[in-house]
Amino acid sequence: MEISEIKARLTLAQVLHYYHLKPDKQLRLCCPFHDDKTPSMQIYYKTHTAYCFSANCPTHGKSLDVIDFIMWMEQTSRGIAGNKEGCTKHEAILKAGQMITEQHSVGAARNQKPTTELPRIAVLTKIFTYFKNGVHNSKPAQEYLQQRGLDYNKTEVGYNSGQFHHGERKDAYLIESCVQYGLLLDLEAKSRTGNPAYKPFGKWCIVFALRNAQNQIVGLYFRSTLDDKHQRHFYLKDRQGLYPKYPSKETKRLILTESIIDAATLLEQEKIKDSYEILSLYGTNGLTEEHNKAITEITALEEIIFFLNGDQAGTKAVEKYAPMLKADYPNVIISNVQVPENEDVNSLLHGHSPDILTHLIETRKEYSFLFSTESVSQRNEEIELPQEAKPTGEPKEEAQTTGLDTNNPYNLKYRGNEANYQIKGFNTGQLDSLKITLQITAK
């Protein structure tokens, strides 16, 4: 096999995967060719080369292509790094050809199966890595992120130029998987080259990864960089995963934002990031079962903070979800950030310093059905119970076998003879648009 053919068919990513090497988010790697405690090797996926910046490395000053990398890896694995007799260039070429053959054989074997798609996590992880590299090469993406006040060096974000299924990435097995998971739409037609034609999903969009409880990428969110008010947000079919990730079980104060860009904006503010956990909803109607499941897993939760848009939709969303969350977590404080009219988290950065976000959070109000204006920071004194409601030390009466329990005004309970009833989300302050959840449990 010719060297040119090897370089056309074998990517550096495949070589790194073969040797179980995984770069960090900045595509840096602890150099495998010398004793390296901090990452000194930079990976360049665009050119399929690697370069070690450490003067202690025997490869220092040399840009390594896939064949060079294999040669040095084989020498290192044999304990004779730098000795060309340990693995010659010719042997490295043969090894590269072997890698290509093995990958082709695996792909052929998989194609014999009834289903030919790669696992969803593997496909989305691979494509999102390509999207992340695309930001560094796309001026439109960088300009859009700059307009939104986001730094792509701080935020894990990608850009979809619509070319991820072309060139060296044009692998039939990968393309079938992209069609399966909605990244490509099969047009059932031929392109100008005579090959099948596909339409990429979310073209010219910045891309954010949605993750599962194991922090694996299971979904992608696309935000158009074009000025189109009607087609701005896109999710892959079978949407799953949360942004930026599932909150840790030790989370005490959780901020819920209306959009992913709002969440990304808060995550770039170190003071906020250090003090709060951030979780994005999927719009004003986007508190899903997966969100609820993630919140349920938090064991130290003390407060849920709504930081939604300062408009009617944002207000109604808080009115809808606050009672529901209070019903499920009666001991958790539910608070709301007072956002200026027609503003959102991200738009507040335009014309203001980032400190305004911290200020608004610190002066948030505890949500109350009585519309209390007391800020959470002012809530220092315990609320005294009415005299007649204070414990007297006398034995309590046995609980009634039937009757209405109104101890929690957000979760009314009625115990009947044949079933138990729960009304969650009750809010007497919004009778014009009352929304409740009725749960009936047979005895």
CATH of the domain at 174: 3.90.980.10
Alpha-carbon distance of 74 to 314, in angstroms, equals 59
Handedness of CA 23, 29, 34, 37 (dihedral sign): negative
- Are residues 421 and 337 located together in one domain of the fold? no
Whether residues 333 and 257 fall in one domain: yes
| Domain carrying residue 231 | 120-235
Domain assignment of residue 242, yes or no:
no
Is 45 part of any domain? yes
Match 């691979």 to its residue by tokens.
Answer: 126
In this structure, the answer to whether residues 100 and 134 fall within a common structural domain is no
Residue 292 domain-assigned (yes or no) = yes
| Parallel, antiparallel or unpaired: strands 333-336 and 365-366 | antiparallel
The CATH number covering residue 100 comes to 3.90.580.10
Nearest to 54 by CA among 69, 39, 43: 39
Residues 136 and 166 in one domain: yes
Tell me if 245 is assigned to some domain.
Answer: no
Domain finish residue from 51, 86, 111: 111
Task: Please indicate, yes or no, whether residues 73 and 124 belong to a single structural domain of this protein.
Answer: no
- Does one domain contain both 102 and 145? no
**Number of folded domains in the chain?**
4
Q: Is the domain of 22 the same as that of 69?
A: yes
Domain boundary (378, 413, 431) is at: 378
Does residue 240 form part of some domain? no
Tell me how far apart the alpha carbons of residues 328 and 301 are, in angstroms, rounded to a whole number: 12
Beta strands in 228-310 (DSSP E): 233-235, 253-257, 277-280, 303-307
E strands in 147-276: 158-160, 184-190, 196-200, 205-211, 217-224, 233-235, 253-257
Give the integer Cα–Cα distance in Å for 47 and 43: 9
Q: Is the residue at 371 inside a domain? A: yes
Tell me, rounded to whole angstroms, the distance of Cα 76 from its chain centroid: 37
Query: Pairing state of beta strands 303-307 and 253-257?
Result: parallel
CA distance 258 to 225: 19
Judge if 262 and 367 occupy the same domain: yes
* One domain for residues 89 and 21: yes
* 83 and 125 inside one domain: no
Q: Is residue 331 part of a domain?
A: yes
B/e letters for 136-167, b = 16+ CB within 10 Å, e = fewer, are eebeebbebbeebbbebeebebbbbbbebbee
Cβ atoms of residues 204 and 226 within 8 Å: yes
Compute the distance between CA of residue 17 and CA of residue 42 in angstroms, rounded to an integer. 16
Per residue of the chain (443 residues), give pLDDT as tens. 678 888 888 889 889 988 889 888 889 999 999 999 899 999 998 889 999 999 999 998 999 999 999 999 988 876 654 455 568 888 889 998 888 877 655 444 444 443 444 689 999 998 999 999 999 889 999 999 999 999 999 999 999 998 887 655 556 678 888 889 999 988 888 777 667 788 999 999 999 999 999 999 999 999 999 865 666 889 998 999 999 999 999 999 999 999 999 999 999 999 999 999 999 999 999 999 999 999 999 999 999 999 999 999 999 999 999 999 999 999 999 999 999 999 999 999 887 889 999 999 999 999 975 444 445 555 444 334 344 444 444 444 444 456 787 766 556 777 877 788 777 655 444 444 455 667 787 76
Residue 183 covered by a domain: yes
The reply to whether 364 and 406 lie within a common domain is no
Is 128 in the same domain as 88? no
Kindly report the pTM of this predicted structure: 0.61
Q: At what angle do helices 89-111 and 66-77 cross, to 10 degrees?
A: 100
